[in-house]
Structure 1
Amino acid sequence: MASTNSREWRAVCEKFRRANHLSEVESRKDPENDPFRSKYEARELLKEIYCTLKNVDAEESDGEEGETNGQPEQSGSEGGESGAGRTYPGDSRAGLRAAKLAVIEYHLGVNHTETEELSAGEEHLMNCMALLEKCTVTQENVTLFIQARNQLGILWAGRDETEKAQGFLETAESIYVQYMKEDGQPPMDLADFFVAEEDASSQQERMRRFEMAYTHTLYYLAQVYKNLEQYERAGQYCHSTLQRQLKFNQFVPLEWAINAATLSQYYITKTRYMEARHCLAAATVIAGLAGEVPSEAAAKESQAEYDKREQLRQKRAEIARCWIKYCLNLLQDARKLLEDNIGELDLDRQEELQRARRDEEEEKERGRKSAVLFDSSDTFDSICSQEEKVSCVFPLTFKEARAIFLVGQAFVGQAKEYFEMDGHVTDHIEIIQDHSALFKVLAFFEEDLERRCKMHKRRVDMLEPICKDLNAQYYLLICRQLQFELADTFYEMMSLKLAVAEKQDQPDAHIIKKFNHLCTSSIKYYDMFLDSIRSPEGKFPEVLEDDVLRPALVAKFGVARLQSKIICTNLDTQLENLNRSLECYNFIVQYCTEHPEAKKAVETELELSEEMVSLLPLKINRIKSKMVSANS
């Protein structure tokens, strides 16, 4: 096997090619009852190649003992064994043989890990690493240096040995950085060690595969940093991975789009809305590259068309949900900037922030330069066009907030088209809850009290039917969420109606009736929530679980306040309402006395409850006195 064109060498190359084909192509067709058949066949071929190389290694090592001058020959000459007939500067013939053996050890390691034989896989990969210690990092083996560490990183991450995985992957990253700094030429791919000269990869293809290996390094590091809860670094590496996949055209559109949309949610948590919007715009554009959604008729006729239709609809609906979260969080974060200490719009603060907007265009440009962009020439213009549909700066006025709200509402419609109530109960309800939250935060920006009230009425109209129809036995947590939100919404509407009534000299009977209806509706849903906590025998728990502690005490507080606000002229009814109110205030005070750890959860409510426990008996006694006087 003295020449790259010898019959023996060509046989080795053919075995290597066949092993790769079995692993990467034929294995996809293996039956369910024998899922690793092709992998096992590939393993046997790799073992045969390994034995051949070891025999040659032994023969040539014996021959080298007789060489004079003590100088190693350079491989790749007429008598060399280079897979592509090239010389290998800096590597001895022994080093080249070690690298070839390392390639086979690498493939055997991958083969064993893919067939769920992790210990054997680790052994072969470590053998590969040991063989590489005999070589320097050069164009010929830098890809192997990186890929071996990538695989060991994956293996240890799969065993939850995250820090070990981190070590291998960070070393792979540093090898890439150093190589690109010191050399940067297209390196050999692993397959190039076992090809005839005429089949050698082009310079462009070799570089593409090398960059792909490094992209995988960054992708795995992103997962490692996430598992180590180093979220900032994880986000950076995820963004770099997506950026490189676009740049080198190494992506599956739907998979890339979902990863970009997921990354946007991280940026939202950091209030980096420019980057979040860019990720979502890119996700929308790249998802479009996956093609058109097949028609329903086509999906009925072909399983393949049905599968494609469902996958496209689902992934695009998931991206729509990420857009909803973007719009909702942008509005909610703007509200935090603008609200006063009682949760209302601070007009002075609003005016101050509007004045600061005079340099907005310059700020936008600076922000654009600081944001990490996906600079793919093929899609950049489309991504920018998508971005222009929604702002990434905090809205300061109702008009600005409404523009963001409408975008979010449009995506609610898109998401609901796939996540229907029939078949996607939890997802559908979460989308409805987000829609309700969009109305809630938009109402904050509206100055007209009647219009605000109508926005909250829209929330009731979308939440109440679901709450009535949902089976609490199977969806207890969701039912509780809906009950509490409905109680809170009716409470908000009651407060708005009260503010409207206070502007009138004498509220008419219609306003009073509406006001009382809102009070009793809120009480009804608070009571439904509280009843859901009771035992099957109807007993309220002596100790509240952590997940319901604050909601339960706030619900009691809400009922207490509402019962005392109901307007009525009948003294018996007034007394009944005030007694119920006092009972709820007493419950909060007594519970926090018996369970001091609960005080922190309801500091404000507890303080007011203690005050009302002192004041309400006086009011109750006055009504009792009136009743005695009326009866005497």
Structure 2
Amino acid sequence: MAGSLGPEIQEKFQAALALSRVELHKNPEKEPYKSKYSARALLEEVRALLGPAPEDDDERAADDGPGDQALGAAEPRDAEGPGEQRALRLAVIEFHLGVNHIDTEELSAGEEHLVRCLSLLRPFRLSLGCVSLYIQAQNNLGILWSEREEIETARSYLESSEALYNQYMKEIGSPPLDPTEHFLPEEERLTEQERSKRFEKVYTHNLYYLAQVYQHMEMFEKAAHYCHSTLKRQLEHNAYHPLEWAINAATLSQFYINKLCFMEARHCLSAANVIFGQTGKIPATEDNPEAEGDVPELYHQRKGEIARCWIKYCLTLLQNAQLSMQDNIGELDVDKQSELRALRKKELDEEESIRKRAVQFGTGELCDAISAVEEKVRYLRPLDFEEARELFLLGQHYVSEAKEFFQIDGYVTDHIEVVQDHSALFKVLAFFETDMERRCKMHKRRIAMLEPLIVDLNPQYYLLVNRQIQFEIAHTYYDMMDLKVAIADKLRDPDSHIVKKINSLNKSALKYYQLFLDSLRDPNKVFPEHIGEDVLRPAMLAKFRVARLYGRIITSDPKKELENLATSLEHYRFIVDYCDTHPEAAQEIEVELELSKEMVSLLPTKMERFRAKMALT
């Protein structure tokens, strides 16, 4: 096959490949592309030595767009004659020139070379010597158009590659030549096994790029399917970087979590843990350059990111369980709990095993290692405190792991999100707790972790985050106050200590709701006539809860109680009046609006009776 090639061409081509692989940081600082330019010069010399391209194929290049790379063009034929062999070798050079120009950020020139490569190969694209190169050229054009945000064009190239691979495997099936073999002497040609490995890697890249394109197009089901296929193939062909593979598997888990497919999500996260554990333990190769100690910063970052994916798993599973068992005021409904217990016993093992097989990564020892991690983590919704606590503790473990990297100094937003998730874990665990005092202690832990955050934050730069935390702290104090009132109601004669505690919690809730509401004011401290859509519901809820809080302050001073009732009425009226003039607000707080209307109707009468009573004393 390469017999007609002189040693000069072979040597120049191999030298060009070697220069192309030189990492950018190994070039002089002022000439980052020095090795790329040297490689390009050698490739152009090889092209000149090979001679001009066949005219008929050059002319065809101008006529074909990405749609013509589909499989309905002219009938493919084998590249056997000297002219065909020359066209094929020229296509290899055009491909490498295309990649070279793209690597040096000369995208238009890169595109021209890749299109010329496809044009030269088109008549032979389904042949043993061409199919791999043809798919690689289309993959690169797909990436190029994707970076230009021309996603439909990118999709066309990549889907054409996928179709060509499938057709080749169906009709021919034997491992095709790797493009580099066209410049190797006969005795240096690759083995069938190596050819197959390289061709499968090309197809795996194709699936990976398709996953990105479908994600960009918000075709999330398809994107997840292609991402899963990519990860599975990378393991099967032992062609993966542990850090990269692990973070991609963990990221895929988030798709399954959002779809409430917790078994699939658990499998992805368990696999991520196992593969992440390989980092630094396997020898460095072309496919796996990550030797121990090479990327400590990236290692710790990825570890933190995977931990955050685990936190979301635990939190979402707990929250989903809460939603399925709570009544209309957010408390545990024991009847629903009993129904779910009965349903769990009827769950079909057969369906579970089918789903497991569909999602399973790895074989043999790797599969066993992943299963060992999975078995320690539940995927069914917890139905009582003990089951919920098990998930909570796992989530809390990963909170600690995530905070090791995402610290407040340097990763402010990420750190706060981790702390907020930690707070949310305590909140949902409290739902399962039947002892009110212990529930109070859980909420107290939330306050202890949230309050220090706003001390350190500059409200000018972190306004939205500040608002989120202020609202969450306010609501936590509000929940604690409700719990203390419920505890007091069970006592025959609440002592002054519990009354003082209720008022203290009330005061703290009012403080943080007011801080939140004050953050909505303009620079002149005026509250907006029109509240922005992004804060409309929390603003209305804050107003409603402030109204309720003033109505629940315990005082023995009649004058003070009347003042509190007047303030409460003022806030209820604000809600009713605002919803009258802004109908969109009424849709956001239907329940609270009805209660506010009721209180606007009842409170004036109550206040009049109170005044009359005061006049008599």
Instruction: State TM-score, norm by structure 1.
Output: 0.89
Q: Give 1:427 shift.
A: 1.6
Identity of aligned residues (%): 56
Note if contact 1:98-1:134 (Cα within 8 Å) is conserved in structure 2.
Answer: no
Give the corresponding residue for 2:208: 219
Assess, with a 3 A threshold, how the Cα gap between structure 1 residues 490 and 477 changes in structure 2: closer, same or farther: same
Q: Give 1:626 shift.
A: 2.0
Partners of 1:469 and 1:123 in 2: CA distance: 54
Are 1:588 and 2:575 matched, yes or no?
yes
Partners of 1:352 and 1:590 in 2: CA distance: 43
Give the corresponding residue for 2:237: 248
Note if contact 1:109-1:122 (Cα within 8 Å) is conserved in structure 2.
Answer: yes
Partners of 2:218 and 2:38 in 1: CA distance: 41
Cα deviations by residue, 1:55-86 (Å, 9 ceiling, x for unpaired): 5979xxxxxxxxxxxxxxxxxxxxxxxxxxxx
Give the corresponding residue for 1:410: 397
Q: Give 1:233 shift.
A: 0.2
Give the corresponding residue for 1:526: 513
Structure 1: state its 5+ residue gaps. Answer: 59-87, 293-303
Q: Secondary structure at the match of 1:138?
A: coil
Partners of 1:389 and 1:138 in 2: CA distance: 50
Give the corresponding residue for 2:373: 386
Are 1:41 and 2:28 matched, yes or no?
no
Partners of 2:293 and 2:128 in 1: CA distance: 47
Give the corresponding residue for 1:331: 318
Partners of 1:236 and 1:55 in 2: CA distance: 44
Are 1:29 and 2:26 matched, yes or no?
yes
Q: Secondary structure at the match of 1:507?
A: coil
Q: Which moved more, 1:151-160 or 1:492-501?
A: 492-501
Q: Which moved more, 1:95-104 or 1:392-401?
A: 95-104
Are 1:570 and 2:567 matched, yes or no?
no
Cα deviations by residue, 1:411-460 (Å, 9 ceiling, x for unpaired): 11111122222332222221111111001111111122222122111111
Task: Write out aligned runs for 1:393-472 (5 A).
Answer: 393-472=380-459
Note if contact 1:345-1:445 (Cα within 8 Å) is conserved in structure 2.
Answer: yes
Among 305, 310, 313, the alignment partner of 2:297 is 310
Assess, with a 3 A threshold, how the Cα gap between structure 1 residues 410 and 364 changes in structure 2: closer, same or farther: farther
Q: What letter is aligned with 1:369?
A: K
Give the corresponding residue for 2:151: 162
Note if contact 1:91-1:136 (Cα within 8 Å) is conserved in structure 2.
Answer: no
Cα deviations by residue, 1:371-415 (Å, 9 ceiling, x for unpaired): 411124342222111112210111111111111111001111111
Among 588, 591, 596, the alignment partner of 1:604 is 591
Partners of 2:506 and 2:436 in 1: CA distance: 17
Q: Give 1:97 shift.
A: 2.3
Task: Write out aligned runs for 1:142-157 (5 A).
Answer: 142-157=131-146
Assess, with a 3 A threshold, how the Cα gap between structure 1 residues 136 and 462 changes in structure 2: closer, same or farther: closer
Assess, with a 3 A threshold, how the Cα gap between structure 1 residues 523 and 55 changes in structure 2: closer, same or farther: closer
Cα deviations by residue, 1:320-348 (Å, 9 ceiling, x for unpaired): 11111110001011111111222111211
Cα deviations by residue, 1:154-193 (Å, 9 ceiling, x for unpaired): 1111111101111110010011111111222111001011
Q: Give 1:489 shift.
A: 0.7
Q: Give 1:370 shift.
A: 5.0
Assess, with a 3 A threshold, how the Cα gap between structure 1 residues 497 and 26 changes in structure 2: closer, same or farther: closer
Note if contact 1:157-1:224 (Cα within 8 Å) is conserved in structure 2.
Answer: yes
Among 249, 252, 260, the alignment partner of 1:263 is 252
Are 1:547 and 2:534 matched, yes or no?
yes
Partners of 1:4 and 1:367 in 2: CA distance: 50
Task: Write out aligned runs for 1:93-132 (5 A).
Answer: 93-132=82-121
Note if contact 1:274-1:367 (Cα within 8 Å) is conserved in structure 2.
Answer: no
Partners of 1:260 and 1:318 in 2: CA distance: 11
Q: Secondary structure at the match of 1:542?
A: coil
Please provide the CA RMSD for this pair.
Answer: 2.0
Task: Write out aligned runs for 1:176-187 (5 A).
Answer: 176-187=165-176
Partners of 1:615 and 1:184 in 2: CA distance: 81
Instruction: State TM-score, norm by structure 2.
Output: 0.91
Give the corresponding residue for 2:193: 204
Q: What letter is aligned with 1:173?
A: E
Note if contact 1:222-1:233 (Cα within 8 Å) is conserved in structure 2.
Answer: yes
Partners of 2:379 and 2:184 in 1: CA distance: 53
Partners of 1:360 and 1:503 in 2: CA distance: 40
Assess, with a 3 A threshold, how the Cα gap between structure 1 residues 130 and 44 changes in structure 2: closer, same or farther: same
Note if contact 1:102-1:127 (Cα within 8 Å) is conserved in structure 2.
Answer: yes
Partners of 1:157 and 1:423 in 2: CA distance: 32
Among 259, 267, 276, the alignment partner of 1:278 is 267
Partners of 1:55 and 1:450 in 2: CA distance: 86
Assess, with a 3 A threshold, how the Cα gap between structure 1 residues 418 and 307 changes in structure 2: closer, same or farther: farther
Partners of 2:170 and 2:346 in 1: CA distance: 40
Partners of 1:492 and 1:334 in 2: CA distance: 20
